[in-house]
């Protein structure tokens, strides 16, 4: 059994992770950490449905329950400190929270190597999203003109999404030095052409009703190719999170991307 602590346990993702861990026979939920007390209205403060006690102090919860793995779905401004705390206490972070800077990831990597505590980060745990990214990387070799549109629920804090940034990074790794669009193009309204990563435009839509969606649109001579993924429910991320909990301790240093641990 792998002992798991969940941070952000009362959030949209955290609640789904708590359930997934409880439902898996090879994982044991030893602690749930969140700033809030109870998960649902009507639940006693400090207690989640199914009797899981929610702690508000990460290091205390780690010291008391001795997890092997900490799954983090919190906030972009919280995840770095959580990861550093876990690594220092010998616990492997499995990080789903997006918005970590490259500098922060490098510091996490350094500490993970120094303390010999493996760390796993995935900007997206849904297998369909991973396939979308890998297919986009493949397509970019042949169709280098590309833009990304990501669409998310309106409670999302970071833009662009971690998935969109990783998609752009994967595309950039394979596409030849390339300039797209008109060199004299002018934005008449700031932001009209979206954000830019190495010349790749990323457009972020935030609306109620969405969960997590992305289109990668390639343009070529007389044709376009659209690769689209839709997470319609947060259950879509759970098999990936469970797999990472089971595999992280066998990794070393920092591993980024679900594709790295798929068979």
Ligand X SMILES: O=C(O)C1=N[C@H](C(=O)O)C[C@H](O)C1
Ligand Y SMILES: NC(=O)C1=CN([C@@H]2O[C@H](COP(=O)(O)OP(=O)(O)OC[C@H]3O[C@@H](n4cnc5c(N)ncnc54)[C@H](OP(=O)(O)O)[C@@H]3O)[C@@H](O)[C@H]2O)C=CC1
Annotated binding site for NAD(+): 8-13, 34, 96-98, 122-125
Q: Exactly one of 2, 4, 5, 7 binds ligand Y (CB under 6 A); which one? A: 7
161 belongs to the binding site for ligand X (CB under 6 A): yes
Q: Select the binding partner of residue 50 from ligand Y, ligand X, none (C-beta < 5 to 8 A, by kind).
A: none
Q: Which residue has the CB atom at the shortest distance from ligand Y?
A: 11
Q: Which is nearer to ligand Y, 99 or 118 (CB)?
A: 99
156 in active site: yes
From the list ligand Y, ligand X, none, partner contacted by residue 152 (C-beta under 5 to 8 A by kind): ligand X
Whichever of 118 and 123 has its CB closer to ligand X, that residue is 123
Query: Binding of ligand X at residue 240 (CB under 6 A)?
Result: no
- Give the β-pairing of 27-33 and 54-55: parallel
Q: In degrees to the nearest 10, what's the CA dihedral of 91, 94, 99, 100?
A: 40
Residues 237-256 that bind ligand Y (CB under 6 A): 237
Catalytic residue selected from 66, 105, 156, 246? 156
Active site residue 152: yes
SS (H, E, C) the chain: CEEEEEECCCCHHHHHHHHHHHHCCCEEEEEEECCCCCCCCCCCCCECHHHCEEECCHHHHHHHHCCCEEEECCCCCCHHHHHHHHHHCCCEEEECCCCCCHHHHHHHHHHHHHHCCCEEECCCCCHHHHHHHHHHHHHHCCCCEEEEEEEECCCCCCCCCHHHHHHHHHHHHHCCCCCCCCCCCCCCCCCCCCEEECCEEEEEEECCCCCEEEEEEEEECCEEEEEEEEECCHHHHHHHHHHHHHHHHHCCCEEECHHHHCC
Site string for ligand X, 120-139 (x = CB under 6 A): ---xx---------------
Which one of 55, 92, 163, 236 is in contact with ligand X (CB under 6 A)? 163
Q: Which of residues 92-111 bind ligand Y (CB under 6 A)?
A: 96-99
Q: Which of the residues are catalytic?
A: 152, 156
Contact positions toward ligand X, by CB under 6 A?
Answer: 98, 123-124, 152, 156, 161-163, 212
Kindly list the residues in this chain that would bind ligand Y in the complex (CB under 6 A): 7-8, 10-14, 33-36, 73-76, 78, 96-99, 122-125, 158, 237
């Amino acid at each position: 059994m792998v002992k798991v602590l969940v941070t952000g346990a009362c959030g949209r993702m955290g609640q789904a992770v708590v359930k997934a861990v409880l439902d898996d026979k090879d994982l044991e939920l030893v602690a749930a950490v969140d700033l809030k007390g109870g998960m649902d209205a009507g639940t006693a403060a400090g207690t989640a449905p199914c009797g899981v006690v929610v702690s508000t102090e990460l290091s205390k919860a780690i010291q008391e329950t001795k997890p092997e793995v900490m799954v983090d779905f919190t906030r972009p401004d919280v995840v770095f400190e959580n990861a550093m705390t876990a690594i220092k206490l010998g616990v492997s972070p499995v990080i789903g929270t997006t918005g970590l800077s490259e500098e922060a990831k490098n510091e996490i990597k350094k500490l993970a190597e120094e303390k010999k505590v493996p760390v796993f980060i995935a900007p997206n745990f849904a297998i369909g999203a991973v396939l979308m990214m890998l297919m986009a990387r493949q397509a970019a070799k042949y169709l280098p003109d590309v833009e990304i549109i990501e669409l998310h629920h309106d409670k999302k804090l970071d833009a662009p999404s971690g998935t969109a940034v990783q998609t752009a990074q994967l595309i950039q790794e394979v596409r030849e030095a390339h300039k797209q669009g008109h060199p004299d193009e002018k934005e008449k309204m700031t932001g009209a052409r979206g954000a830019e990563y190495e010349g790749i435009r990323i457009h972020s839509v935030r609306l109620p009703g969405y969960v997590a969606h992305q289109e990668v649109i390639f343009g070529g001579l007389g044709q376009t190719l659209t690769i689209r993924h839709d997470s319609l429910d947060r259950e879509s991320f759970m098999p990936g999170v469970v797999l990472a909990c089971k595999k992280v301790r066998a990794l070393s240093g920092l591993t980024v991307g679900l594709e790295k641990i798929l068979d």
